Structure 1
Amino acid sequence: MKISTKGRYGLTIMIELAKQFGEGPIPLKSIAQAHELSEHYLEQLIAPLRNAGLVKSMRGAYGGYLLAKEPTNITAGDVIRILEGPISPVEVLDDEEPAKRELWIRIRDAVKEVLDSTTLEDLASYTDGDQDAYMFYI
């Protein structure tokens, strides 16, 4: 399974909103500029996140987006599933050899475990150079 820019940039948006949680709405333009990303592309990604109830939008001069839930209650898996679809490296077929089927299932479950046990708060608290910060491997 390869996570596309949809998933990667979607996580970028969500991590930025988690870092500034409780400080009011954040304009997508500021996230796009900070990460040198297309604001138009981020607008396309925020819509499914809003429709899924992970973010809220606020209109007006001081508008923008904010998390709809606490950062501890949103996982990387939530974001990836909304933007990328089901998490599976391959489609497991019933007629596949048992050993290979078991391998694919174990890989899928390991990826799910990492994504579902990593919250936005975990990701927002990570800073470069912080020796005590989380390190995530898949």
Structure 2
Amino acid sequence: MKITAQEEYGLRILLQIARCQDKEGMNIPDLSEAEGLSTAYVAKLTRILRITGYIDSTPGYKGGYVLSKPATEININQVLKALGGSLFSKDFCGSYPGTHSLCTNSLDCTIRSLWQMIQLSVDQVLDQVTLNDLIGSEHGSTQLLNSMIEQTHKSIK
């Protein structure tokens, strides 16, 4: 399981837009320069973020991209799923049947239980994080995420 480049860069682009103080937002060349990405790749990512409702484009010569809603209302779990999907989805097992048309473990799979548990844990943490939580410094977001993890551990006990 890996975080894809599209998820990482898409989230970074969204953070750049969220941090922007200009009411016109940030345009593709500015985003490209800020993140060290090609303009074509930034265009692809902004298109995904626009289609999925996280950003809007501003009109005009100086136009760019702005958040479509407040950063406090943008859930990181949903953003990552829009950019790349879940770590584990129900379709996963159908994609890896081996040489058979159906997986030999499709009826009784202990591994599937593990992947589902990991996905549930990831969802529980990421559902608590908003874009606003990531706008500040790394130190601030680390403290916030550590407190979330502590709360999760307390609720499990």
Instruction: Report if TM-score (shorter chain) is over 0.5.
Output: yes
Gaps spanning 5+ residues in structure 2: where?
A: 94-104, 150-157
Change over 3 Å in CA distance of 1:2–1:103 after alignment to 2: same
How far apart, CA to CA, are the structure 2 residues paired with 1:79 and 1:8?
A: 11
The CA RMSD measured in Å over matched residues stands at 2.5
Question: In structure 1, what is the equivalent of residue 41 of structure 2?
Answer: 41
2:113 aligned partner = 102
Q: TM-score, normalised by structure 1?
A: 0.82
Q: CA separation in 1, counterparts of 2:74 and 2:21?
A: 12
CA deviation map 1:91-135 (0-9, x unaligned): 3675233x433322210111112222111111112x24x4xx122
* Mapped contact 1:87–1:112 kept (Cα < 8 A): no
Say whether residues 1:74 and 2:81 are aligned partners.
no
Q: Max radius of gyration: which structure?
A: 2
Aligned length: 133
Which has more helix, going by share of residues?
A: 2
Structure 1, residues 10-53: CA drift from partner, whole Å, max 9, x if none? 00111111112673321121121122111110101111211111
Within 5 A, what are the aligned runs for 1:126-137? 127-128=137-138, 130=139, 133-135=140-142, 136=145
- Larger mean CA deviation between 116-125 and 80-89 belongs to 80-89
Provide the TM-score with structure 2 as the length reference: 0.73
- The higher relative CO (CA closer than 8 Å, separation ≥ 6) is in 1
Which secondary structure state, in structure 1, belongs to the residue aligned with residue 57 of structure 2? strand
Among all aligned residue pairs of Structure 1 and Structure 2, give the percentage whose two residues are the same amino acid.
Answer: 31
Task: Give 2:15's aligned residue.
Answer: 15
